[in-house]
Amino acid sequence: MVEPDTPERRGRLSRPLVLAAAVALVDREGLAALTMRRLAADLGVEPMAIYRYTVGKEALLDGLVEAFFAEVNDRLRTSAGTAFDVTSDVPAWRAELRRIARAFAAVVHAHPEILPVVATRPLSVPVARRPAPMLQLTEHILAVLGRAGFDDATALTIYRAFVAWNLGCLLVDKRQVVDNPDEPDLMLRLGLHRLPAAEYPRLRALAPKLADYDDEQELIAGLDSLLSRMPEAPLDAFYGGGAR
């Protein structure tokens, strides 16, 4: 039973709390379950109490993006100064982009149902009105490239390629391959019995490999391959001798 919505109870709410509850609801039951009424029930308040923190469903979707990027930024702050990407032959800017890619992937794995919103929702919002955590991460990436000495045009090219690869690689995920996760038989678990062998021979043959791969390794290997084709940084600093 929902407790009465009182000023005292509303005082326990906050935007971070509302967004955290929205993320938890989507994690448990998927994006379709996210409504203002259901979120209010989870928080134990009347629906109107939530409108103080988010004005409707569309704004709530923006809030999911905000919460997602806030978590990415938190992970980056926590992992700042770690040495797993520090090698003598990796330029500092590429090592930092690796670190960002890993943090982004970790949040995607924690909240996979939110990724489609993260990939599409910002397209309907002008840059200046996107959530602050998203803009902060964009600013950080551009600053990394600026410190490496890239001119504005090259920095934007690398930024766009970096974002496109990360989103694309993570959207093509093995969770979308599995048809029935509780089925032990591989053919049935992947739903390959639904595909006529004569019409889809290659897809049937390759689907098991789509479902069984190291997505982080593929993400970073592809990123390294992509970035290695970019122009050399004018201020080429390496971890091992250069400044961060």
Cβ–Cβ contacts within 10 Å for residue 196, how many? 9
Q: Is the pLDDT assigned to residue 32 strictly greater than 50?
A: yes
* 151 backbone φψ class: left, alpha, beta (φ>0; ψ -120 to 50): beta
Q: Which CATH superfamily is domain 68-228 in?
A: Tetracycline Repressor, domain 2 (1.10.357.10)
**CATH 1.10.357.10 residue window(s) in the chain:** 68-228
Whether the per-residue pLDDT at 242 is higher than 60: the answer is no
Q: Binning pLDDT at 50, 70 and 90, where does residue 7 land?
A: very low
Out of 76-80, 85-89, 186-190, 233-237, least confident range: 85-89
Stated as kind and residue range, the H or E segment containing 184 is none
| Long-range contacts formed by 4-10: CB under 8 A, 24+ apart | 5/45, 5/46, 5/48, 5/49, 9/44, 9/45, 9/49, 10/45, 10/49, 10/52
Burial of 237 (0-12, 13-18, 19+ CB in 10 A): middle
Task: Identify the three-state secondary structure at position 91.
Answer: strand
Candidates 1.10.10, 1.10.3470, 2.40.128, 2.30.30; CATH matching 1-55: 1.10.10
Average pLDDT, the chain: 86
Report the share of the chain in percent with pLDDT over 90.
58
Quick one: tokens of 97? 């982009």
Closest CA to 108 of 32, 22, 216, 224: 216
Q: Which residues 6+ apart lie within 8 Å of 33 measured at CB? A: 25, 26
Helix (H) or strand (E) holding 47: helix 47-50
pLDDT digit string, tens, across residues 109-143? 999 999 999 999 988 888 888 999 999 999 999 99
Percent of the chain with pLDDT over 70: 86
Residue 166 corresponds to which amino acid? N
**HSE on the CB side for 134, CA within 13 Å?**
20
- pLDDT digit string, tens, across residues 151-175: 999 999 999 999 999 999 998 865 6
Alpha carbon of 13 to those of 115, 213, 222: distances in Å? 26, 42, 43
Residues of the chain with CATH 1.10.10: 1-55
Q: What is the predicted pLDDT for the residue at 175?
A: 62
With a CB cutoff of 8 Å and minimum separation 6, the contacts of 105 are 166, 170, 215, 216, 219
